[in-house]
């Protein structure tokens, strides 16, 4: 039940894939951003496939992907999370976030713990500030309830698939964000 398409070996050359990525993302050396030549080739092949099958020349809303493992963060082995039971034990905290964007950010933080002491302390201080100020915590919590999934909405806007409901949700989210104050 899986569609398979056979292509000749010389269908895409390394040069043509790197050229496609350079033109699409406007970068001179895409392999330097993906972290490796094989990563750049895989990205280029997928991009070529999507453009060809969708009949498009460009997908302007797509940004150059970043490596999953961020520099400056602790690297875990492939089975570390399974052995530590991080996500099952912490899932109830993920369910308490006020937005899907917050849930994704918390997952990213759990998967890429910081290494730099200064960055760790800054994050701890920010959390402590919100946790120890009930008025600030309640206000922030109420505002975040009004924030819809901006990342997904903007993806639909960029692909011209946004509905009036999406546009309304984006407006409400921006309005809630405008009332938040960063100090």
pLDDT at 89 exceeding the cut of 50: yes
pLDDT at 45 exceeding the cut of 60: yes
Which pTM value belongs to this model? 0.58
* CA dist list (Å): 4 to 1, 7, 9, 14: 9, 10, 15, 22
Q: What integer is the mean pLDDT of 104-113?
A: 81
Q: Please give, one letter per residue, the 3-state secondary structure of 19-64.
A: HHHHHHHCCCCHHHHHCCHHHHHHHHHHHHHHHHHHCCCCCCCCCC
Q: Provide CB contacts within 8 A for 81, sequence distance 6+.
A: 87, 111
**Given this model, what pLDDT does residue 183 score?**
47
Q: Rounded mean pLDDT of the chain? A: 82
pLDDT 10s digits, 53-71: 888 888 877 777 776 666 6
**Dihedral angle computed from the Cα positions of residues 7, 12, 13 and 19, in that order, rounded to the nearest 10 degrees:** -170
Q: Provide CB contacts within 8 A for 6, sequence distance 6+.
A: none
Cα 157 to the center of its chain, rounded Å: 17
Pairwise CA distance, residues 13 & 18, whole Å: 9
Least confident of 50-64, 69-83, 136-150: 69-83
pLDDT 10s digits, 115-130: 899 999 999 999 899 8
Sign of torsion over alpha carbons 89, 105, 67, 173? positive
């Amino acid at each position: 039940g899986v569609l398979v398409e056979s292509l000749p070996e010389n269908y895409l050359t390394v040069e043509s894939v790197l050229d496609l990525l350079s033109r699409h993302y406007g970068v001179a050396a895409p392999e330097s951003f993906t972290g490796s030549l094989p990563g750049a080739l895989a990205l280029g092949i997928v991009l070529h496939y999507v453009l060809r099958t969708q009949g498009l020349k460009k997908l302007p809303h797509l940004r150059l992907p970043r490596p999953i493992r961020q520099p400056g963060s602790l690297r875990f082995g492939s089975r570390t999370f399974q052995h530590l039971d991080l996500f099952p034990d912490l899932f109830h905290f993920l369910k308490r976030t006020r937005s899907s964007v917050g849930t994704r950010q918390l997952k990213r933080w759990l998967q890429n713990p910081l290494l730099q002491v200064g960055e760790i302390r800054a994050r701890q201080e920010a959390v402590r500030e919100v946790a120890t100020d009930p008025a600030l915590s309640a206000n922030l919590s109420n505002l975040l309830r009004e924030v819809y999934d901006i990342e997904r909405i903007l993806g639909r806007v960029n692909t011209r698939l946004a509905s009036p409901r999406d546009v309304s949700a984006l407006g409400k989210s921006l309005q809630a964000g405008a009332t938040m104050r960063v100090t």
